[in-house]
Amino acid sequence: MGHFPPHHYDLKPAGRCLVRSAQPADSERILIAAREVFATTQHVLTQPDEFNLTLNDERTFVESMLAAPDSVFLVALDATAPDGEVVGISSLKRSLPKRKMRHTLDLGMSVISPWRGRGVGTALMASCVQWARARPEIEIVTLAVYQDNAAGLALYRRFGFVPYGHLPRGLKHDDGSTWDQVLMYLDVRGPEGDRAQER
């Protein structure tokens, strides 16, 4: 099952977040967070007008991730607020349902704008790596990041991700501008994965 038990993390300059598996009851708050992310950063694939999931769609997705044995969908919640605002989301899932790729997962992650730079991304990354390392069948985690996303690249490198490819003009915005992508991977069975687990 795609389950991750609750973990608390201290944030900068103060506060805490709670990272756990997303639950169907979180669906509305996840939609709110996702819309905020898509509207406030260019470093994601989805454009705001492309995101049209309904509440039922999101609930169905969360339920499917909970039922999947080889995927996990995490939320980071403001642990100091009674309503537990969703401040970040991350997922590990297969890019293709092929047996030859059953040992690899793709990572996606985002944090809402008021909480960026406070350690939410670190908390989500630590949780994703921990979850992947607990499953012997998972060996490699991959991701793609904008080359100009310095904060994202620094975070991924800190957790042991290394570049394995560079796609010039891999992303094209509506204004015609193009952006390079860096492709990265983490061997969760190797020494870098061991060190990432300790962070």
Residue (of 140, 133, 131, 80) closest to 106 by Cα position: 140
Residue 198 has a pLDDT of 46
Spatial separation of the C-alpha atoms in residues 107 and 130, rounded to whole Å: 13
Judge contact between 86 and 33, C-beta under 8 A: yes
- Paired residues of 143 in beta bridges: 184
H-assigned helices in the chain: 27-40, 55-67, 120-133, 150-158, 191-198
Residue 197 has a pLDDT of 46
Quick check: pTM over 0.85? Answer: yes
Judge contact between 143 and 106, C-beta under 8 A: yes
Domains of the chain: 7-198 (3.40.630.30)
Label the pairing between strands 140-146 and 104-111: parallel
Spatial separation of the C-alpha atoms in residues 27 and 54, rounded to whole Å: 10
Distance from the Cα of residue 106 to its chain's centroid: 9
Both structure tokens of 78: 């403001």
Residue 192 has a pLDDT of 60
For 67, phi and psi rounded to 5 degrees? Answer: -85, -20
Spatial separation of the C-alpha atoms in residues 103 and 135, rounded to whole Å: 10
Both structure tokens of 53: 């999931």
Judge contact between 133 and 168, C-beta under 8 A: no
pLDDT in tens for each of the 199 residues of the chain?
Answer: 578 999 999 999 999 999 999 999 999 999 999 999 999 999 999 999 999 999 999 999 999 999 998 999 999 999 998 788 999 999 999 988 899 999 999 999 999 999 999 999 999 999 999 999 999 999 999 999 999 999 999 999 999 999 999 999 999 999 999 999 999 999 999 876 555 544 4
Residue 85 has a pLDDT of 96
- How many helices and strands (H and E) does the chain possess? 5, 8
Element at 174 (helix H, strand E):
none
- Paired residues of 144 in beta bridges: 183
